[in-house]
Structures are given as structure tokens and as C-alpha cells.
């Protein structure tokens, strides 16, 4: 992009040509199945990610191959990837031996890394779950927080069913200097409201699809979080640990 802008300033190309070149430079065309935004990180601060469940396996494989055949590929994030698909990808992409395959089985996220990603964290983000059943979504958020250059401090299974567990963990996170809290809860979705009433930092509520009866699928938790009377809560979609983490990263990096 810098080269294109320099050519525009030097009057080597006109404005329309520069615009067309920037657009074509940003999008990686993958046959007729995908248009991969390879420069999303330059524009938004976080790279493109591939949502895998609804894609045919062969399409998913082709997208990954084409991406790593492109110029200067960075880390690639593949979300909601089942263990079975991960094992198959490992075999079909074994020629990418210069890259690191970092798969979190619980979070069902694969990050194909160009290096070990050693960095000094720019901020700390806390991640809490109401129950053990919410941990997979919290782990999804944790992977993204760490991929975004922050330290994740986690505490799981501290929901309102045993609320005495919550207070020392909140105190610990505040003492550690977390700047945002991601709170994952299913069932009645009460935990984010309780947390938001205790802290003076942003709370991102993540409803999970944990529940049964009227709470099945996470809609009750979502509605409860949207209806919370505690101020300072932002709510993402059901099971959207990825979106919660990106939002948290946006908050801490914009300060």
C-alpha cells in the first residue's frame, strides 16, 4: 500500500488507478469460492479469520493453501474447527513445515503461525466463566486475546450458583491490572450483571448456548444480558468468544 501511495504522490499513477490497485492488493481471490481480506490487520488492527463450520472441507483447504502461497502471509486463524478436521488439515498441509500449527482443542481454534509470537503483552484482559461448561467459549476468547498481543488472566466456574467464589477472583484480577473483563455465562446469564456491579472497567458479556428447557441454545442468557440493569456492559452474540476478544483488544489498544 505504501508503494502505491508513493507512486500516486509522485504522479506516476492517477487516483483511479491507485484506488483499483489498493482494492486488488487487499483481496486475495480464491477461485470462485472466497475473497480473503489479506490486509485486514493493516486497516482494522486484527487479521482476517476463517470461520470453518459452514465450509466444505475442500474449500477450507483451498483457502488455506492459497493464503500461504500469497506474498508475505501472516498468522492465520481458523475458528470453530473440529478435531477431526484439524487432523485432516495437518496431513493435507504437512508441506507447510516452516509454520507452527497451534490447535486449542477445547476452543476449537487453529492458529497457523509464522513464528513463536514472543512479545511483551500490551495489556491484561480478564476472562471469567460462570460454569465449567462455558470454558470452551472462554478459551476461544483467550486464544484471540493472546494472538492480539495481550495477556489473558482467566478464572473459570465462579458463577452465581456459588457466588462466594467470585469475589476473591475479581479482586485478584483488578489487582493484576486487567483493563477489560470478558464474562461468559449460559443458563440464566446473570454473571455479567453481577460483575459489572462490582468493577469500574468495561465488561463484555458472552452468552453461551449452555442450558436446557427455556434456556436451551443460549437465548435466555442473551436476553438477560441485553436487559441488564448494571451499566457498562456490552453484549456479543451467543458463543461469540472470538468477537468478544476482538472487541476487548480494540478497547485496550485505543487507549
Locus of grid cell 489498544: 253
All structural domains of the chain with their residue ranges: 34-113, 124-253
Inform me whether the pLDDT recorded for 191 exceeds 90: yes
DSSP, residue by residue, 37-61? ETTHHHHHSS--EEE-TTS-HHHHH
What does pTM read for this prediction?
0.81
- What separation, in Å, do the N-terminal and C-terminal C-alpha atoms of the chain show? 26
Coil, strand or helix at 147: helix
Q: Lowest mean pLDDT: which of 30-44, 105-119, 134-148, 223-237?
A: 30-44
According to DSSP, the β-strands at 49-51 and 34-37 are unpaired
* Type and span of the H or E element at 64: helix 57-69
Coil, strand or helix at 224: helix
Rounded to an integer, the average pLDDT of 128-135 is 95
Sequence-distant (6+) residues with CB within 8 A of 101 are 90, 93, 110, 112, 113
For residue 158, CA distances in Å to 7, 170, 221, 227 come to 57, 10, 16, 21
The pLDDT tens digits for 4-57 are 666 667 777 677 766 655 555 555 544 454 555 655 665 666 677 888 888 889
- C-beta atoms surrounding 129 within 10 Å: 28
The C-alpha cell at 203 is 465488561
CATH 3.90.1150.10 fits 124-253, yes or no: no
Rounded to an integer, the average pLDDT of 89-99 is 83
State the CATH class of domain 34-113: alpha beta
Rounded to an integer, the average pLDDT of 151-162 is 92
d(CA 181, CA 177): 11
Amino acid at each position: 500500500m505504501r508503494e502505491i501511495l508513493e507512486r500516486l504522490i509522485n504522479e506516476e499513477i492517477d487516483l483511479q488507478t491507485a484506488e483499483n490497485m489498493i482494492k486488488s492488493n487487499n483481496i486475495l481471490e480464491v477461485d470462485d469460492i472466497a475473497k480473503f481480506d489479506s490486509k485486514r490487520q493493516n486497516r482494522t488492527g486484527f487479521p482476517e479469520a476463517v470461520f470453518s463450520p459452514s465450509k466444505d472441507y475442500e474449500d477450507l483447504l483451498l483457502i488455506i493453501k492459497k493464503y500461504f502461497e500469497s506474498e508475505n502471509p501472516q498468522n492465520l486463524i481458523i475458528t470453530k474447527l473440529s478435531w477431526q478436521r484439524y487432523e485432516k488439515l495437518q496431513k493435507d498441509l504437512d508441506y507447510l513445515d516452516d509454520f507452527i500449527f497451534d490447535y486449542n482443542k477445547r476452543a476449537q481454534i487453529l492458529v497457523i503461525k509464522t513464528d513463536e509470537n514472543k512479545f511483551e503483552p500490551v495489556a491484561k484482559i480478564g476472562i471469567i466463566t460462570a460454569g465449567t461448561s462455558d470454558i470452551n467459549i472462554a478459551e476461544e476468547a483467550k486464544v484471540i486475546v493472546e494472538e492480539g498481543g495481550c495477556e489473558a488472566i482467566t478464572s473459570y466456574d465462579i458463577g452465581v450458583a456459588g457466588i462466594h467464589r467470585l469475589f476473591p477472583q475479581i479482586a485478584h484480577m483488578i489487582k493484576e491490572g486487567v483493563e477489560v473483563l470478558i464474562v461468559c455465562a449460559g443458563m440464566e446469564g446473570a454473571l455479567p450483571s453481577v460483575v459489572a456491579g462490582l468493577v469500574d472497567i468495561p465488561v463484555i458479556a458472552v452468552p453461551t448456548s449452555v442450558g436446557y428447557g427455556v434456556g436451551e441454545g443460549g437465548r435466555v442468557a442473551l436476553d438477560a444480558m441485553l436487559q441488564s440493569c448494571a451499566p457498562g456492559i456490552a453484549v456479543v452474540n451467543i458463543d461469540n468468544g472470538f468477537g468478544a476478544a476482538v472487541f476487548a483488544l480494540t478497547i485496550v489498544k485505543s487507549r
